[in-house]
Structure 1
Amino acid sequence: MVQVSLILIFSLVLGRLAEKVGQSRMIGEISAGLLLGGSVFGVLWPQGHAVVFFTDSLEDLKVLADLGLVLLMFEVVWHTPFMHAEKIRHTRLIPFVITLFGVSLTFLIGCLIATISKESVAPDIAFWPYVFFCGLALSVTALPVLIRIINHLRHISVSTASIALSSAIYTDVFAWVGVAFLVAFYTAEKTNIVGVLINTLSLIAFCGFSFYVIRPLISLLYRERAAQRNKSMQLVFAICYCLVSAEVTSKLGFHQAIGVVIAAYVFCKVPGLEHTWRRTVGSFAHVFFIPLFFAYSGLRVSFDYFSQFDTWLWLSIFAVGGFFGKVVGTYLGGRICGLSPTIAMEVGLLMNTKGLVELVILSIGLQLGVLSEKAYGIFLIVALLSIVMTPPLLKFFAKLYGGGADVQIKGIK
């Protein structure tokens, strides 16, 4: 438990420092893991690191980190524009086209860089899963971090914010479908295509059961005032189905995060659940479980690879390629839809933001074996750079071309 206490203290301090300089608290929490890992703490005080972070204890820490991921993914649905429809008055065609161009160009660039970098970055990894994964990892957008950036940058216009948030939703859909396809594709190489097909059809059936059987039953149950007043029953039902759904998708060969997202959409419109969750489970999760997840992501990075020149070279290429693909692709999509150059560029800069979904995908890739430790470290740093650079780039762009009206959308820190 000493390691948990140490991680929480470092996460709190570094998270507050990150917020002081206008960054996401997640930056500080991941940095806590980087500093407490073997490449920093382990080098400065090897004996102390061996005592605190001994091998068996990391398995216990992983369990807590996975629980943090489950709790965080469950509440992400409350930050989507579909839950705040009054903020969005434009057609859904615009964000769809923007997503299509932004994701397609970034995915192709990621696959191209992965093809060239494989022998240097991931020589022992299967070719196609690695290439597909790199394209997917560069293509995602972090919705919770995006919301926080919009809330703190007052010059972002309502139209820019709503288009960016709607586009991020479509990007998230692409990301989760891509993750499911990646897991199925990789599993097919190890087992047989028939088994994978059965598991995929089972997942689709479970989604249908959740949305068309469980969700209507939940809605029917909470029409009764007595059920609405019983906040404890709301939480118990939501948490239990969340854990069951995560276990079902895990048993089917897919990542547990997919099951959590399914459960989240089943319970997202239960009256009063969001308020009760934030006041009880959510408030504790954000000071205990979720910092452990972000810190654990940082702990898994080995800086040994960063003593090599080619690591920095490929990190730079992936970062520039991801930035170029997202910004240029989104800009082109926006201009085709008739957006002004200013709004199209602002949306492009916002869509380059990475975060939670990126970390989940990285964890899945490392767990499946389609990502080497070296590649994991590279993509984690690329994600951090995208988060750190987005606010100053938007502020610089606003000084050159001006900004729009203020917008405030509920988000997480």
Structure 2
Amino acid sequence: MASWMVQVSLILIFSLVLGRLAEKVGQSRMIGEISAGLLLGGSVFGVLWPQGHAVVFFTDSLEDLKVLADLGLVLLMFEVVWHTPFMHAEKIRHTRLIPFVITLFGVSLTFLIGCLIATISKESVAPDIAFWPYVFFCGLALSVTALPVLIRIINHLRHISVSTASIALSSAIYTDVFAWVGVAFLVAFYTAEKTNIVGVLINTLSLIAFCGFSFYVIRPLISLLYRERAAQRNKSMQLVFAICYCLVSAEVTSKLGFHQAIGVVIAAYVFCKVPGLEHTWRRTVGSFAHVFFIPLFFAYSGLRVSFDYFSQFDTWLWLSIFAVGGFFGKVVGTYLGGRICGLSPTIAMEVGLLMNTKGLVELVILSIGLQLGVLSEKAYGIFLIVALLSIVMTPPLLKFFAKLYGGGADVQIKGIK
């Protein structure tokens, strides 16, 4: 039997090659890394060379790989807060109101469409899954927007105006808040069906208490500590404190019955304003994580997709319906919200196309859904492909729209690769 070292080596090589190819054609590196998992899974590698796949990716060994993938998720989620774009907020009026209204319309319409499609598709896509958790989850997964991927797309599309970029990115932040609140509600709702409401209420109150402790006790202490110049110069201490609290926070939320990603986001906001931490993190932990741990998370997401379901006509049918429904809900809802706020038709449409981008947040939500059992393997594969399609389609659609109606001023927002 092959060790996890062979698995990791194969995944990293495939992720590097396919990630570079994705970047060459103007796509996110994440596309190539997920594709590496799809190719190395049982539906491709397992079909082309069954004996080799059985030796390298036997079932028990995937538990070791999952640990490394979970660590990659933790490190990646810790960086999300640094992708929040405030630098262009002063360039547009009513900066908070416009993104909020856009998010309200875009998320609401997409969520309703997702729930409707889920209701109709339940017997075909997830017959063994509880009805309401599955329906709620589908609506949630279809309505999210990927902030890091969105930043990368904006950085590569030179015709996007400052106003369009600022509104889209600010709206994506509100969408992220909706996504995490929705995930917490989903976990609590699902747990309540399996245990008792009192226990769920206690866990929810404990989560709120932990958030309060983190923001009103730990964060002020961290800020007070790093006012000292000696502490600012001690980069190792910064990293150790940040990583340890990140892992502890993830463990606390996991023990409370919520996903570890929620704990990581809490820790990220505790440490996001520590002087010099972002720079130190990106040069050390972040640099290695994007080469080693994070590709493992994306590839592991692809490994869990079974193409056996895609030999069935109804899988492609529901894939098309979810993709079209998600696109229509997000673009039309965002466009209507933008027009109500007084945006021009061009900017409102560009924001709508950008807001349809999915990626990291949806992958995390999909992983949570599969782990909880509110999502079948067939539905997981469908939503993963929908997420990939939304990322691949966004740049060419925006370029085509720009050729028809003209583009705005150039803009560069700091993001990730």
Q: TM-score range by the shorter chain?
A: over 0.9
Instruction: Give deviations 1:201-245, integer Å, cap 9, x for gaps.
Output: 000000000001100000000000000000000000000000000
Residue by residue, what CA displacement relative to the aligned partner does 1:107-158 show, whole Å, maximum 9, x if unpaired?
0000000000000000000000000000000000000000000000010000
- 3-state secondary structure, aligned to 1:82: coil
Q: Is the 8 A contact 1:81 1:87 kept in 2?
A: no
Structure 1 gap segments, 5+ residues each: none
CA contact (8 A) 2:91 2:163 kept: no
8 Å CA contact retained: 2:89, 2:95: no
Contact conserved, 2:31 with 2:388, CA < 8 A, in 1?
A: yes
Provide the C-alpha distance between the structure 2 equivalents of 1:361 and 1:199, rounded to a whole number of angstroms.
20
Q: In 2, are the aligned partners of 1:163 and 1:347 still within 8 Å (CA)? A: yes
Quote the residue 1:400 is aligned against: 404
Distance 1:30 1:319 in 2: 18
Indicate if the aligned counterparts of 1:268 and 1:274 stay in contact, CA closer than 8 A: yes
Q: Please, which of 209, 222, 226 is the counterpart of residue 205 of structure 1?
A: 209
Partner Cα separation in structure 1 for residue 350 and residue 273 of structure 2:
31
C-alpha change, 1:334 and 1:179, in structure 2 (3 Å) is same
TM-score (norm 1): 0.99
CA deviations 1:3-56 (Å, max 9, x no partner) are 100000000000000000000000000000000000000000000001100111
> Shift of residue 83 of structure 1?
7.4
> Does 1:359 find its partner at 2:363?
yes
Q: CA deviation at 1:88?
A: 6.5
How far apart are the structure 1 equivalents of 2:171 and 2:43? 38
Distance in 2, matches of 1:288 and 1:353, equals 25
Measure, in 2, the Cα distance between the counterparts of 1:161 and 1:401: 17
Q: In 2, distance between residues paired with 1:127 and 1:205?
A: 31
Q: Contact 1:81/1:88 (CA < 8 Å) preserved in 2?
A: no
Alpha carbons of 1:62 and 1:308: their partners in 2 closer, same or farther (altered >3 Å)?
same
CA pair 88-233 structure 1, distance change in 2 beyond 3 A: farther
Deviations 1:351-400 (A, max 9, x none): 00000000000000000000000000000000000000000000000000
Between the aligned partners of 1:156 and 1:13, the Cα distance in structure 2 is 29
**Distance verdict in 2 for CA 1:13–1:89, change over 3 Å:** farther
Change (3 A) 1:147 1:88: farther
Deviations 1:316-342 (A, max 9, x none): 000000000000000000000000000
SS at 1:124 equivalent: coil
Q: Residues 111 and 25 of structure 1: is their aligned pair in 2 closer, same or farther, counting only changes over 3 Å?
A: same
Q: Indicate how the Cα distance of structure 1 residues 269 and 11 shifts in structure 2: closer, same or farther if over 3 A, else same.
A: same
How many Å apart are 1:91 and its aligned residue? 2.3
Q: Distance in 1 between matches of 2:291 and 2:91?
A: 29
- The 2-side partners of 1:84 and 1:124 are apart by 47
Distance 2:202 2:391 in 1: 39
Contact between 1:158 and 1:405, CA under 8 Å: does it hold in 2?
Answer: yes
- Is the CA contact 1:234–1:273 (under 8 Å) kept in the aligned structure 2? yes
The alpha-carbon distance between structure 1 residues 90 and 153, as it changes in their structure 2 partners (threshold 3 A), is farther
Contact 1:349 1:393 (8 Å CA) reproduced: yes
For 1:51, the equivalent position in structure 2 comes to 55
Aligned residues of 2:95 and 2:167 also touching (Cα < 8 A): no
State the Cα distance separating 1:85 from its structure 2 match. Answer: 5.3
- TM value normalised by structure 2: 0.98
1:370 to 358, 369, 374: 374
- Tell me, yes or no, if structure 1 residue 12 matches structure 2 residue 19: no
Aligned equivalent of 1:272:
276
- CA RMSD after TM alignment: 0.9
User: C-alpha displacement at 1:81, in angstroms?
Assistant: 1.9
Shift of 1:87: 6.8
